[in-house]
Structure formats: C-alpha cells, structure tokens
C-alpha cells in the first residue's frame, strides 16, 4: 500500500510504516549494520579482545538505530515550517503522523539508546559518557538553528558548511560504538583512526545522498551538483565528482589503516578494499567523457556503494582474526 492510499483513518501502524518508508526506510537500517559492526569489532580488537558477536552487539545496534531515528524525528520537527511549504505531499505534512506522535517516538528512542548504554556499562560509565558527548554535539547545531533563526537561515543556505556540522556527531559516535565493543576496557588512542574514517564517511555519504536528484531541479531540493556562485552553497558538477572521488579514496585508505591497527589487514581484505575504490573512480571517468548531472548521480551511488561494501569487507576481516 502506497502512502497516498493511506488516510488519517488508517491504522496507526500503517501510518507509522508509511512515515518510516519515506523518512527512515528499512534499507537505511540495513546499511547501518555493517557500519556498526565494523566499529564495534574494532573496539574489541583494540582492547585486546577477540572480535565476536554477542548480546551487547545486538543491543548496541538497537541503540544506534534508535538514536539515528531520534535524530530524524528531531530534524523533521525542526524543519516543519519549511517542509510544510515545499513538501506538502509527505506523510508528516499530511497529518497521517502528528508532530506530537513524532516527539513521543523521539523520546522513546532516546530512552532506548541511553538504557542500552547504561546496561553495557553496568551503570554510568564510558559508553554512557560518549552517548552524552554525541547528544550534545549532535544537538548543538540544531539548538543554534532554532534559537537564532538568522544564523540557522545563513547556515541552511550554505549547504556545504552545514554538511560539515554533522562530522563531530559521526566522529564521536564511532567512539561510542567502539567503547561498546570495549566494554569495561578503555579504548586506546588508536580509536582516533576510526574517528577519522567516520568523519570522512559522514561527508562522503552526505554529499552522495544529496547528489542523486538530476531529474528534480527545483530550487528547494538540496543537490550539491547545482550551479552556485560559492562553493559553500553548492559544489557544481565537476566539484561534486572531484570531492566524492577524493573522499572515497581517503575513506579506503583509512579503512586499511583501521584494519592494520586492529591486526586484521589481511592481503585479501586490502585487495578487496582497493577494488571497491574503483567503483567511484570508474564512474568519474564516465563523467569526464560525458559531463552531466546523471553521470554525477552514478558517481554518488558508486561512492555510497563503495563505503557499504568496504564496511562489509572490514567486518569479515575483523571476524577472521578469531
């Protein structure tokens, strides 16, 4: 059943599913799994434990998904006025799910993510501390945008700078997950290689995610391929391709470094990671032969695919250490 066939009289479960399909789809949750597992297993490896999947792994993944869903709910609340004007067809804007219901979901997600952190800690400990760090860094920009509307509008109009604002959350978020893997053992300074990797990946995925709409050139649709007078507002066609390829190659190098730090840089894993980098590079070559927004979309999709495959390779390599 499509969201257009659902009305306010439909069961709440169907309306909530329609919202999820639109704003937090199942494929996104599935894509988060290898990211989480790679960071969790890395946390085990650098704290001198055998990388293994256990109860804390799956509870931690539930907390990670809950936290990211909470972020989506907060974003949709913050952007309510803008989305009502420009995206009236969305489930939330049609009133199929209310903002009050969305706030309740956000609170439940917050409780789940905190509760799991405390459970893994066995009380208030390092995992919970890192949860606090990501909560503060994640919501600081949101707070500024809401509290000082002029600053928020200035930042919203400069999408590249706004993309940079998500980097601290994802960077510190990787430590949160690695510490889940470490449990009662403090993750050492080697974790900062993981932080660097996730910071690069955050930018890669943000730009790739919003460079996939060549058929929709409405000014309200964020797309980094659009022409603009300043790089802070958009990257343009060539700029988007160049940035994606650089970030993709850098992410691949950092993935190899992370595996090396964990003692899991087997030859097959390094070769596999190197091969994944050819996906965005190959798409970029096709763009050079015929520069248009559709070819940029290919680069964006190959870059995101490269990251996902690379994380799956990383999980396999870390588990192979056992």
Task: Write the DSSP string, 138-207.
Answer: HHHHHHHHHH-HHHHHHHHT-HHHHHHTTHHHHHHHHHHHHHHHHTTSPP-TTHHHHHHHHHHHHHHHHH
Residue 41 half-sphere exposure toward CB, CA atoms < 13 A: 26
Q: Which two tokens stand for residue 315?
A: 């999980």
Sign of the torsion angle spanned by Cα atoms 245, 246, 248, 253: positive
Q: How many Cβ atoms are within 10 Å of 262's Cβ, its own excluded?
A: 23
Q: Is the pLDDT of residue 24 over 80?
A: yes
SS3 label, residue 18: helix
Lowest-confidence segment of 29-33, 161-165, 245-249 by average pLDDT: 161-165
Question: Which is nearest to 76 in space by CA: 14, 30, 20?
Answer: 20
Please tell me the predicted confidence (pLDDT) of residue 217. Answer: 65
Question: Which is nearest to 121 in space by CA: 43, 37, 181, 35?
Answer: 181
Percent of the chain clearing pLDDT 70 (strictly above)? 95
Architecture of domain 7-188: Orthogonal Bundle (1.10)
At 316, is the pLDDT very low, low, confident or very high (cuts 50, 70, 90)? very high
CA 218 to centroid of chain Cα atoms? 25
Q: Which residues contact 183 (CB under 8 A, 6 or more apart)?
A: 47, 49, 56, 120
Inter-residue long-range contacts of 117-123, CB under 8 Å, 24+ positions, other chains counted: 117/63, 117/176, 117/180, 119/59, 120/56, 120/59, 120/60, 120/180, 120/183, 121/184, 122/184
Please tell me the predicted confidence (pLDDT) of residue 2. Answer: 57
Cite the residue boundaries of each domain of the chain with CATH code 1.10.357: 7-188
Please tell me the predicted confidence (pLDDT) of residue 215. Answer: 65
Q: Which two tokens stand for residue 174?
A: 């990787």
At 232, is the pLDDT very low, low, confident or very high (cuts 50, 70, 90)? confident
Lowest-confidence segment of 41-55, 190-204, 209-223 by average pLDDT: 209-223
- Report, as an integer, the average pLDDT of 202-208: 92
321 phi and psi, to 5 degrees? -70, -25
| CA 228/CA 208 separation, integer angstroms | 18
- Report, as an integer, the average pLDDT of 30-44: 96
- Report, as an integer, the average pLDDT of 298-321: 94
Q: Is the pLDDT of residue 209 over 90?
A: no
Tell me which of 204 and 232 has the higher pLDDT.
204
Distances (CA, A) of 182 to 64, 120, 167, 187, 200: 16, 10, 23, 6, 23
At 130, is the pLDDT very low, low, confident or very high (cuts 50, 70, 90)? very high
Please tell me the predicted confidence (pLDDT) of residue 1. Answer: 54
Q: Which two tokens stand for residue 169?
A: 């959350």
Report the chain's mean pLDDT, rounded to a whole number.
Answer: 89
Q: Please state the pTM of the whole predicted model.
A: 0.90
Question: Which is nearest to 178 in space by CA: 253, 256, 126?
Answer: 126
| CA 68/CA 63 separation, integer angstroms | 9
Q: Is the pLDDT of residue 198 over 60?
A: yes
Please tell me the predicted confidence (pLDDT) of residue 214. Answer: 66
Q: Is the pLDDT of residue 168 over 90?
A: no
| CA 43/CA 78 separation, integer angstroms | 34
């Amino acid at each position: 059943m499509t969201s257009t066939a659902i009305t306010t009289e439909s069961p709440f479960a169907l309306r909530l599913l329609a919202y999820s399909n639109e704003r937090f789809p199942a494929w996104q949750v599935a894509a988060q799994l290898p990211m989480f597992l790679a960071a969790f297993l890395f946390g085990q490896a650098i704290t001198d434990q055998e990388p293994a999947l256990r109860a804390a792994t799956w509870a931690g993944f539930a907390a990670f998904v809950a936290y990211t869903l909470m972020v989506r709910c907060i974003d949709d609340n913050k952007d309510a006025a803008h989305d009502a004007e420009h995206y009236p067809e969305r489930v939330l804007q049609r009133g199929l799910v209310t903002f009050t219901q969305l706030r309740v979901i956000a609170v439940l997600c917050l409780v789940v993510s905190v509760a799991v952190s405390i459970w893994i800690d066995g009380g208030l400990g390092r995992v919970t501390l890192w949860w606090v760090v990501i909560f503060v860094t994640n919501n600081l920009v949101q707070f500024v945008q809401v509290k000082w509307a002029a600053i928020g509008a200035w930042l919203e109009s400069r999408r590249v700078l706004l993309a940079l604002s998500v980097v601290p959350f994802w960077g510190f978020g990787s430590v949160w997950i690695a510490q889940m893997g470490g449990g009662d053992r403090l993750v050492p300074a080697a974790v900062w290689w993981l932080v660097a990797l996730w910071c690069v990946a955050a930018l890669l995925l943000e730009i790739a995610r919003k460079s996939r709409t060549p058929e929709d050139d409405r000014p309200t649709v964020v797309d980094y391929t659009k022409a603009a007078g300043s790089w802070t507002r958009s990257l343009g066609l060539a700029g988007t391709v160049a940035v994606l390829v650089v970030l993709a190659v850098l992410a691949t190098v950092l993935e190899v470094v992370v595996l090396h730090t964990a003692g899991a840089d087997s030859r097959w894993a390094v070769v596999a990671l190197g091969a994944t980098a050819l996906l965005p590079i190959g798409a970029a070559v096709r763009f050079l032969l015929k520069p248009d927004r559709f070819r940029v979309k290919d680069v964006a999709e190959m870059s995101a695919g490269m990251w996902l495959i690379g994380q799956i390779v990383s999980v396999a390599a870390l588990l192979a250490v056992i």
